A and B are shown apart, each in its own frame.
Chain A
Amino acid sequence: MQENKFAAAFKQNAIWLVFIVEVAIFAYFNPKFLSLANIVNISRQVSYYGIASIGMTFVILIAGIDLSIGSIIALVNVVCAYLMMNMGWNMWLAILVSILMAILIGVLNGWMVASIGIPAIIATFASQTIFRGCAYLLSGGLPIPGVVLEHPTFGFFARWSLNRWEIFKSMGEVGLIPICAIIMILCFAVGSFILNKSYFGRYFYAIGGNEEASELSGIRVNKMKYLIYALSGFFAGLAGIVLLSRSGSAQSTAAIGFEFEVITCVVLGGVSVAGGIGRMSGVIAGVLIIGSLKSGMIMMNVSEYTQMVVQGLVLAVAVGVDCFSKKRQAS
């Protein structure tokens, strides 16, 4: 019994072992990989995936999928920049409005999936196309560029950048704590809280396990679906703001294919695509593995094309392991 428990704990946390091995390999080939500057850099990069992965975790937990988050990010970028640059809105107001918009897109996804009954993969694929199109329309396909310091409202960003915090600047360039990483950590805390401490988490696991039985246990399954897609929209919107703060330029072509990278992180983190199984800590590991994989490959001068091949393989292996272990359990 005791041994079983140990084996179970090991299995649950095996993903962290993968992360450690991966870091060790990169550090062996390139000592700079573990430098503070690189760690800060990685944390800045992964924050954008990490934040979006929380919503995706919820969606995949109920055996759904959200392919629209890349487009939500692009639209949030364009709308937020447009409101500030072209309309002269206050920064916070623009952020608020664009995140609200992201939530509304999530609600729309929820409506299509829960009330209309469109399969999630098609419904969110439709909104992916629709809102990418909206981003192109609003921006005319052109970037809203390099405005960070010149524009008075964006000037505020420079001091309160989500990318780094002015207060820590005195500590020197490497001492910067990326504020986007802090946001990510907060988001993971909120995500864990929802999943483990609030009743919503219990409902999500129940729905992912068996929708019909959940409804017959008194869970309002459709309402939960609305909530989950709205949350996915919210976290994607927040990730979009983080991206905008880093790039300082809103691109309607931003985050193309982003949803697949996030799905890779989530599935790698042990969330079953069949629904009902997964833990937030696993997803954090998944995000870190993908983030350091990207960074490590860049440092080792692996070409972008090869990176794509590697990422695709990682996704296939991650899902393969999940499905294989299910198959073995079944027989």
Chain B
Amino acid sequence: MAEDYVLELEHIRKEYPGVVALKDVTLQLRRGEILGLIGENGAGKSTLIKCCSGAVIPTSGKIKINGKEFDRMSPQLAAENGIAIIYQEFNNVGELSAAENMFLGRPILKKNGIVIDRKAMEEEAAKAFAQLNIKIDPRALVKNLSVGYQQMVEIAKAIQQNAQVLIMDEPSAPLTTNEVESMFKVVELLKSRGVSIIYISHRLEEIFRLSDRIEVIRDGEYVDTLITDKDPATIPHQVDELIKLMVGREMTQKYPPRKPCVRDDVVLELQHVFGNGDEDISFQVHAGEVLGLGGLVGAGRTEIAQVIFGARPKDSGKIIFMGKEINPHATRAAIDEGIALLPEDRKRHGALLTNSIKNNISMPIYERISKATVIDSKTEHATAEKYREDIQIKCPSIHQLVKNLSGGNQQKVILAKWLAANSKLIIFDEPTRGIDVGAKFEIYKLINDLVEDGVAVLMISSEMEELIGMSDRIIVLAEGKMMGELQKDEFNADTILTYASGIVPENKKEAV
């Protein structure tokens, strides 16, 4: 019996220079079903859907739409064959009306073929909105609509273009609770009309509510597909199973051993800090301790790091550093206190790519090593050479531009800069993102050296293994709030993922 598949992806593989983003993923979407697609950060979900839209061309593999085979997609082909994608970032033009956005690039023209027929477009848009049971004025400017409605405009646009397959990438992430509810209604309505939907979300409860089947991918590979059992009694069991499938393999020994070095003295303490999207964050970091910050992308981890580093202001609460309250209004102030940040996006926020290694390393200390604004070039050279030696930055010379270094060495340069600045608290935001395995190990060793020297480390990581392997303690955030804290003996990928998806497990409820 041949199943009625509307979209089939067969053995999709995508290689980038040096990285395999997708190893072998197969996905089959039945007509009129909602397929939940889940996987950890970096599992390859986004790359996979980009293969469907033609934004990414797979290295090998086949795409079949209604049984018709394609080697590759292009955005035009995808649209012609009824595939529409609602990305996390909307493709709306804020300054145009809802109707104009719906017909962007394919306007309805008047009979003369030149002038845009605004009225016809608005009527069509109104029809599309009515079909979805949503009330949006087709003439309203999109920038004045709420995020939920902006998303609806995109969905209506897809439906108006006769989309047979709707792929939604984390659609609930930017929405409020009420908006999520109305989005669900629209999704269910579409399903009842025979539209097939791939629904990607980190929030497992949504997946259970909506999906007919759930496909799990991990590290660019297909893992399994389960049939969703909507019986509430079995859901906790299913959640456990899914998380196991997502996290997968046993944790292997990838982390260098560390001597116990956590000291009693508190380096950083946050007391009920609000601001920059975070709410009521309180925690302590001790000298010689690696405190892991877990959570999903957008959980507010980077935001709290920015607040501590003085890059963003807080609204209220106290930051106590080395025993005294600080209120850094600029990064300079935080750096002078001894706080450092290695940002997630190294190339944009961390390294000064067009400057030399030497200049990068001395950047925070130039004023200290200068007399009457004149740089003491001997100290400047000696500092750079010292750290090149100490943390083994592999480069022909310290005059090399940082853009010519590998990701791991760039990260080392940024670290060297903060070591030169005598930092007492170092915040790593995704310390090994985009760094190959060998260099990762070196970065971990450096982090060990730091804490053994008594530096306090705050490590944000979305890689579960890294978080568990490196931290002495883990705090998990979700949607800007602290969900829970785990001591070393409580570390467990399942618990962390559960906290991260915003659910407090039953046995922990009283404790929080």
Hey, which bits of chain A sit against chain B, CB under 8 A? Answer: 197-200, 202-203, 205-206, 208-210, 212-220, 276-277
Q: Is B143 an interface residue (CB 8 A)?
A: no
**Closest beta carbon of chain B to A209's beta carbon, Å:** 4
**SS class of chain A's interface: helix, strand, loop or mixed?**
helix
Closest to B306 in A: A216
B189–chain A nearest beta-carbon distance, Å: 43
Seed contacts A202-B355, A218-B364; 5 additional CB < 8 Å A-B pairs? A198-B370, A199-B367, A199-B375, A217-B417, A220-B330
Bits for B336-353, please: 1 = Cβ < 8 Å to A, else 0.
100001010000111111
Docked-complex contact B354 and A213, CB < 8 angstroms? no
Q: Which residue of A lies closest to B336 (CB)?
A: A218
Chain A residues with CB under 8 A of B331? 215-218
Question: How distant is B370 from chain A, measured CB to nearest CB, in Å?
Answer: 5
Contact indicator A197/B375 (Cβ below 8 Å): yes
Say whether B364 contacts A210, CB under 8 Å.
no
| Structural contact, B343 and A202, CB atoms closer than 8 A | no
- A197 near B374 with CB under 8 A, answer yes
Nearest CB on B from A325, distance (A) = 14
The CA-CA distance from A218 to B341 in the complex, in Å, is 11
Seen from chain B, the residues whose Cβ lies within 8 Å of a Cβ on chain A are 309, 311, 330-332, 335-336, 341, 343, 348-355, 359-360, 362-364, 366-367, 370, 373-375, 377, 417, 421
- Are B364 and A198 within 8 A (Cβ)? no
Which B residue's beta carbon lies closest to that of A199?
A: B366
Across-interface contacts of A203 in B (CB, < 8 A): 366
Q: Are A206 and B355 in contact (CB under 8 A)?
A: yes
Does the CB pair B370–A199 fall under 8 Å? Answer: yes
Chain B residue contacts of A208, Cβ below 8 A = 354
Residues of B close to A276: CB separation below 8 A = 354-355
Q: How far is the CA of A164 from the CA of B383 in the complex (A)?
A: 48
Residues in A with CB closer than 8 Å to B364 are: 217-218
* Contact between A216 and B375, CB atoms less than 8 A apart: no
CB–CB B349/A209 < 8 A: no
Q: Determine which of A199, A200, A213, A277 lies in contact with B348 in the assembled complex, contact meaning CB atoms within 8 Å.
A: A213
Interchain CB contact (< 8 A) of A217 among B336, B352, B375: B352
**For residue A208, which residue of chain B has the nearest CB?**
B354
Q: Within 8 Å CB of B366, what residues of A?
A: 199, 202-203
- Whether A210 contacts B348 by the Cβ 8 Å rule is yes
In the complex, the answer to whether B363 meets A198 with C-beta atoms within 8 Å is: no
Q: Say yes or no: A218 contacts B354, CB within 8 Å.
A: no
Among B336, B349, B355, B417, the one with the most A-chain Cβ atoms within 10 Å of its Cβ is B355
Known: A205-B355, A206-B355, A213-B350. A218 touches B370 (CB 8 A): no
* Assembled-state Cα–Cα distance A219/B332 (Å): 7
